[in-house]
Amino acid sequence: MKIRNPKDFYSGLVFIFFGLLAVIISRDYPLGSAMRMGPGYFPAILGGLLTLMGLTIASRALLLSGDGIKAMAFRPLIMVLVSVVAFALLIRPLGLILATLALVVVSSLGGLEFRVREVLLLYVMLAALAVCLFVYSVGLPIKVWPL
């Protein structure tokens, strides 16, 4: 059989891998029933669904044509990773608002274009949402500002 859509085929294999991994790990936990779910119920069902979805995607890749796999772009991957680490390191000393600024600006540097207006709009919306959701709604004890 010829793989006509390598991108979908390998994506399907990744779904199958993680689905089977979840099912295998959940075997050690009691499953329970639909009415009284045990700790292994959700991972087993989710793993089964991931595996089924992976099989569907991978089998479609054998039938339908598609794009090939391009070279991996390391810059976006590295910048997103650096932005998450920066957020984790800066949230305690600088607070949620400034740590979110670092997160958005550093992760935006991973893209091909850096538009200041779009980055600022994303930052304002994300910071406002984070403060409203985590500080005021959920009540997490997170500093908002470095005061």
Tell me the per-residue pLDDT of 104-131, one tens digit each, with 9 for 90 and over: 999 999 888 888 999 999 999 999 999 9
Predicted confidence band at 81 (pLDDT cuts at 50, 70, 90)? very high
Whole-model pTM: value is: 0.60
Whose tokens are 């949402």? That residue is: 129
Alpha helices in 27-133 (DSSP H): 41-63, 74-108, 116-130
Query: Residue 23 in contact with residue 44, Cβ under 8 Å?
Result: yes
Is 20 part of any domain? yes
Tell me, yes or no, whether 58 and 79 share the same domain.
no
Q: How much is the pLDDT for 58?
A: 92
Query: Residue 93 in contact with residue 146, Cβ under 8 Å?
Result: yes
- In total, how many domains does the chain have? 2
Tell me, yes or no, whether 54 and 78 share the same domain.
no
* Res 21 pLDDT > 90: yes
Is 107 part of any domain? yes
Tell me, yes or no, whether 49 and 93 share the same domain.
no
Give whole-number Cα distances, 123 to 4, 64, 67, 126, 136, in Å.
41, 40, 34, 5, 18
Tell me, yes or no, whether 125 and 95 share the same domain.
yes
Query: Residue 16 in contact with residue 48, Cβ under 8 Å?
Result: no
Tell me, yes or no, whether 103 and 55 share the same domain.
no
Tell me, yes or no, whether 59 and 84 share the same domain.
no
Tell me, yes or no, whether 101 and 133 share the same domain.
yes
Domain span at 79: 74-137
* Res 139 pLDDT > 80: yes
